Amino acid sequence: MINIVWAIIFVLVAPVIGGLVAGIDRKITAHMQGRVGPSVFQPFYDVGKLFEKENAVVNETQIFYVICYIIFIAFTGALFFSGGDLLLVVFALTLAQIFLVLGAFAANSPYSYVGAERELLQIMAYEPMVILTAVGMFVVTKSFNVADIAASATPVVLLLPGIFLGFLYTLTIKLRKSPFDISTSHHAHQEIVKGVTTEFSGPTLGLIEIAHFYETVFLLGFIYLFFGFNPLVGVIAVIVIYLLEILLDNTNARVKWQLAVKSSWMIAAIVGVINLAVLYFLAGGA
């Protein structure tokens, strides 16, 4: 069932694709703001630069946690693209995020602490919806295996419109885009210094950036899963949804964490659960 070739391809190619997506993101953002913007290869220059810097660490444990973070993010994506169990993918993703939070807590800095606490709140905010998504996919395709869901002829998105909307809502949190970039944010929208990444510098920060590239590709793959019945529609949907995320990022201010948690739970409870209930009754309520 699990295709090891795809896992290896993911581990090798995902940072390149993720970096390019981040570069295109910055270019489009700049154009939306009437600027020229950096080169699309800028994220690679940034990571290259970070590896040229001095490795100044506050606490040696930080490096260990960051390495665990990148390993588990890569594992999450590799398991997903090799067609593994969706539930295991979701749990591995959570574990990876927890390592980042532990890394931020390892340095005794108020900004890092606030960032780590907000990161935990973000995990709390999106987790119910992500698990509901996995459950919803099981209900319509009768399988938790990514390979089966992707190959299924069932139009997943048409049977799970509510869950799809709820997933898109939490996707903004996962991609750290406004209005939900509360724990840290990319580029220059600074608040609480740099939140969860404040105390990381040089090569350690470079590893976190690469982990973000992996995460972006994994999330884009997750969107595709809703459109697995038609690959062309799937790829177009992934591109359109990412462009919408960029538009949302540039037109919204950051919200308070209370609103982020409340609204994402509310959406998970309303559209996610109603969607599952409708499917249950349509199936005969057995």
Cis peptide before 179 (omega within 30 of 0): yes
Q: With binding defined as CB under 8 A, does residue 63 bind another protein?
A: no
What's the closest the beta carbon of residue 113 comes to another protein, in angstroms? 15
Token pair recorded at residue 145: 């295996």
Question: Distance (Å, rounded) from C-alpha 193 to C-alpha 19?
Answer: 24
Q: Does 106 bind another protein (CB under 8 A)?
A: no
Residue 177 vs 227, nearer CB to another protein: 177
Site membership for another protein, residue 56 (CB under 8 A): yes
Using CB under 8 A, pick the residue from 4, 5, 12, 36 that binds another protein.
36
CA distance 13 to 9: 6
Nearer to another protein, 3 or 55 (CB): 55
Q: In the complex with another protein, which residue's Cβ is closer, 32 or 237? A: 32
**Does residue 46 belong to the site contacting another protein (CB under 8 A)?**
yes
38 binding another protein? (CB under 8 A): yes
Residues numbered 156 to 175 that lie near another protein (CB under 8 A) are none
Instruction: Find all residues with CB under 8 Å of 268, minimum gap 6, and list them.
Output: 128, 129, 132, 166, 170
Residues that bind another protein (rule: CB under 8 A) add up to a total of 33
168: burial class by Cβ within 10 Å (0-12, 13-18, 19+)? middle
262 binds another protein (CB under 8 A): no
Contact letters for another protein, residues 186-205 (x by CB under 8 A): -xx-x--xx--xxxxxxx-x
Q: How far is CA 55 from CA 73, 89, 201, 241, in A?
A: 22, 32, 7, 37
**249 counts as binding another protein under rule CB under 8 A:** no
| Bridge partners, residue 85, by sequence | 145
Are the C-beta atoms of 112 and 77 separated by less than 8 Å?
no
Which residues in this chain contact another protein in the complex, by CB under 8 A? 26, 30, 33-39, 42, 45-46, 48-49, 51-56, 187-188, 190, 193-194, 197-203, 205
